Amino acid sequence: MKPRLFLLLVFVSFLMPSLVFPQQIATTEDGRKVILYDNGTWKYLQEPEKVPQVSQIVYVTRTGSKYHAAGCRYLSRSRIPMALEDAAKRYGPCSVCSPPLLKSTTPQKQTVSPKKDYATPGQCAAITQKGTRCKRKASPGSKYCWQHGG
Q: Please give the share of the chain, as a percent, with pLDDT higher than 70.
A: 74
Mean local confidence (pLDDT), 7-18: 65
- Residue 105 has a pLDDT of 46
How would residue 33 be classed by pLDDT, with cut points 50, 70 and 90? confident
CA atoms of 108 and 24, how far apart (whole Å): 43
Give the confidence band of 43 by pLDDT, cuts at 50, 70, 90. confident
- Write phi, then psi, for 81 (nearest 5 degrees): -70, 145
Between residues 125 and 54, the one the model is more confident about = 125
Residue 45 pLDDT grade (very low, low, confident, very high; cuts 50, 70, 90): confident
Radius of gyration, CA atoms only, the chain: 36
Mean pLDDT of the chain: 78
| Residue 78: CB atoms within 10 Å | 12
Q: What's the pLDDT score for residue 1?
A: 63
Q: Residue 81's pLDDT band (boundaries 50, 70, 90)?
A: very high
88 vs 13, higher pLDDT: 88
pTM, two decimals, is 0.37
CA distance 150 to 145: 5
